[in-house]
Every structure is written in structure tokens, then in C-alpha cells.
A and B are shown apart, each in its own frame.
Chain A
Amino acid sequence: MTSDPLWEVFVRPRRGLSHTHVGSLHAPDEVMALRHARDLYTRRQEGVSIWVVPASAITASSPDEKDSFFDPAADKIYRHPTFYELPEGVQHL
């Protein structure tokens, strides 16, 4: 027996929120994946919209290279507003 492909499931819990990863499941195709996702992850009205994505279609950054990959952002503290000291009394800035 070989398993059906793996799908990652994303659910939008309510209007106004973005889709969030909730888990994964196996299904032969996207129609079945959506139906299984509904039965598995929204039995208690946890969502108003579901995305299913073939796990094989996801490219992930590797934790091994976490430092070098994300390093460029680490030394640019001037990207945050708190970097800037303001003269006393300035408002709405």
C-alpha cells in the first residue's frame, strides 16, 4: 500500500483573519483533500474558508541555515521606529 499524497491545510477562522496552518492530511486529489479537511479540521465551525496545498509544492527554508539566511535583518535596527530618539515635546510622530 502506498499513501495518498500529503496536503497541508490552512483555515480562515473568521472573516477578517488570515488563513492559518492547522495541520495536514492524506488525500488522492484536491477535491478529496478539501472534503477531508472540512471533516477533520472544522467539525466545530472552526473556519469559514479552507486552503489545501500539496506538501510537495512547499519550498521551506532550512533550520540549519537559519543564521546565515536571516542574518541580513539582524543588524538593521534602524528599520524600527524605536531606533530614533526624538526631541522632547514632539507629538504625533
Chain B
Amino acid sequence: MDTPAVHGADGLLGEVEQAETALREAADRSLTGVAESLVAATPLRDARAVFEAVIEADQKIEPRDLMPDEYRKGLVRQIAQHAHSEIIGMQPEGNWITRAPSLRRKAILLAKVQDEAGHGLYLYAAAETLGVSREELTDALLSGRQKYSSIFNYPTLTWADMGAIGWLVDGAAIVNQVPLCRCSYGPYARAMIRICKEESFHQRQGYQSLYVLAQGTPQQRRMAQDAVDRWWYPSLAMFGPPDTESTHSAQSMAWKIKRFSNDDLRQRFVDMCVPQAEILGLTLPDPDLRWNEERGHYDFTEPDFDELMRVVKGDGPCNRQRMAHRRRAHEEGAWVREAAAAHALKGLR
């Protein structure tokens, strides 16, 4: 089956490569003394000034460096939410593993869900370098104190949802995450580089799967269109509230945790998706979607941000189901953890 190239994916993957190169180059500059000399020249060894100087020089903050408490807390919140999203994100797709239409699709879906578990673990490990423990993080998720992405509170009703999720949900995640490869916190940036490289397979398999359906029987085509219709606006909402209402953005930008605003990233995503949808031969469910010559971007209808807030607060279609499933899996897995710990103790004797 010939699949048309996904426009934009190469560009984003290129940015991941560039971020990785920049990370190495920053480390080399450090060798020749840029940040080190700044650190040495700072009078009174003012920790805050050293921190700002390292950020200013586009160097990475590393785990045992002194850092402002708000920086540490903000990062823990963001990385933890990201990790929880990967873990909860296994559920909507796990729902279809046993019903995949072929062994090939089943193997692909299994590999993707396994990647998501892996991404969750890279991110938990990055969060732990900031002094928070794994059990605190697990507990914060299970008790609902920390959130995960609202997108995973929508149901996966048909097989075509696997395609739409790969294309739109993973596509939006990549647009969001590629700039994080340049985040000022070293462990997070390195985890994101690894994650983004792996995510590009997720997006492509979804697009290809959807393309096959769109070229199939009228019924398969309708199923593909229906999935796109349902996932489009929730995917747009993944970029968060509009800039005017975003609470954490300004400080995050100043500390180079975040590099672009929510609205800029959302626009970028829309601009990428429109030509991709044309190649699929499917329509995006927005009658006001059209090219704006003046702006050089597509005009589009914003997602329903009230709905986003409702879902974030726990009132989406699947919030309760997702949390109940995660708690049950954790409780029912307790005996495995206990047995492994008992076995490890036996080895010590």
C-alpha cells in the first residue's frame, strides 16, 4: 500500500535532531568556559544569579544544581502531568489491542502502547531527579491531586479511532513536545528528545491506518470520517487554554521551559493538518476553516474551552472509568511487586 508522505513530520523530526545538536553544542561551549566562567564571576556566589546566568547562556540546569523553588515545583508539576498522561494514555488504545483487524495492526498497536509505558517511565525518572519520589508521584495520580491530559478522557468507539488518535492526538502531542526538546532542564530535554523520535512512528502508523480506511469501502470511509469528526476539537484543546487565560506561561517562557505560546502551537498544528487531511480525502469538521492570505495561516474555529475545563476538572466522558481502571490495575498488581521484593530479599540472604 502506497502511503503519501506526511507533510510536516520530517520538519518536526528535523527540529528534534537540531535540538539534540544544540544540546551537544551547549555542552561543548560549557567546556570552553562560557557558563563556568559566568558561574565563577558571580559575586557572593549568589545562587539565583548563577541560575539565571546558566539559563541566559542557553545552558542546561542539571539535577543537583541550585534552582529557585518555583522552577523546581513548576517542572515537577509539568513533567509529572506529562508522565501520568503517557500512563493513562495507554487505556484508550489498549481497548482495541484484542480487536485489531489483523496480526500486523495488533503488533503495531502493542508496540505503540508499550512505547507509551516507556515514555511514562522516562518522564517519571526525569521528575525524580528533582527530588520527588516515585511513590509520591503514583499517589498524586491515583488520588487525583495531579492531572493528566484531558484528551484521554474521550472514548475510543471504533477501530478508526486508532488511526485518528495516531494522526491527530499524537500529532498534536508532537507539536507540543518538539519545543520541549530544548527545555532548560537537562533530564527533561534529554527525555523529550528520546520520546519525540519514538513518537513519530506513532503518528505515521495512525495516518497510514486512516489512509487505508479512507481508501476502503464506503462504510470504512464513513468510519474514518466519523473518527476525525470526533477527535478534531479535543485535539485542538490539547494545546491548553488561549494565551490570554494561560496561567503558567510567562514564567515558563522566561525560564526556557516553554518556548512557544499555546495559541502559536495550536495554529502550527492546524496549518500542518489541513493539507494532510486533503491527502486523506477526509474533511475536518470546521466550516470556517480557510486559508488567510494576509496572515499566512489557516483561520479556524477554536475548541470549546469550557468543555476543556469541565473535562480537566473531572467531568469528561471517561474520567471516572480511566481513574478506576488505573487504581484497579495498581491494586491488582500489588502481589507482583510484593513477590519481586520478597525474591530480592531472598537473594540478599
A interface with B by C-beta (< 8 Å): 1-4, 6, 23-29, 32, 39-40, 43-44, 60, 62-64, 66-67
Smallest CB gap from B136: residue in A: A3
B135 lies within 8 A of A29 (CB): no
B125 touching A25, Cβ below 8 Å: yes
List the B residue with the shortest CB-CB distance to A70: B36
| B121 CB–A CB distance under 8 Å | yes
Contact residues of B between 295 and 349, Cβ < 8 Å to A: 334, 337, 340-341, 343-344, 347
Main secondary structure, interface of B, reads: helix
Contact, CB under 8 Å: B65 / A43: no
- A sample of 25 cross-chain residue pairs with beta-carbon separation below 8 angstroms, ordered by A number, consists of A1-B138, A1-B139, A1-B334, A2-B135, A3-B133, A3-B134, A4-B340, A4-B341, A23-B122, A23-B191, A25-B121, A25-B125, A28-B337, A29-B343, A29-B344, A32-B344, A39-B118, A43-B111, A43-B118, A44-B198, A60-B64, A62-B64, A63-B66, A64-B66, A67-B39
**What is the CB-to-nearest-CB distance from A72 to chain B, in angstroms, rounded to a whole number?**
15
> Which residues in A have their C-beta under 8 angstroms from that of B343?
28-29
Judging by beta carbons under 8 Å apart, are A63 and B128 in contact? no
* Smallest CB gap from B133: residue in A: A3
How far, in Å, is B284 (CB) from chain A's closest CB? 33
Asked if B40 and A67 sit within 8 Å, CB to CB, the answer is: yes
By the criterion CB–CB under 8 Å, are B114 and A43 in contact?
yes
B229 at the interface (CB under 8 A from A): no
Residue of A nearest to B111 (CB): A43
Closest B residue by C-beta to A21: B190
Q: How far is the CB of B60 from chain A (nearest CB, A)?
A: 13
A44 to B199 Cα, complex, angstroms: 13
| B204 vs chain A, min Cβ distance (A) | 15
> Nearest-CB distance from B291 to chain A (Å)?
38
Complex CA gap A67/B45 in Å reads: 11
CA distance A41 to B317 in the complex (A): 34
Does B62 touch A at the CB level, under 8 Å? yes
Q: Shortest Cβ distance from A64 into chain B, in angstroms? A: 8
Instruction: Contacts A28-B337, A43-B114, A63-B65 known; list 20 others, CB within 8 Å.
Output: A1-B138, A1-B334, A4-B340, A4-B341, A23-B191, A25-B121, A28-B341, A29-B340, A29-B343, A29-B347, A39-B114, A40-B121, A40-B122, A43-B115, A43-B118, A63-B64, A63-B66, A64-B66, A67-B39, A67-B40
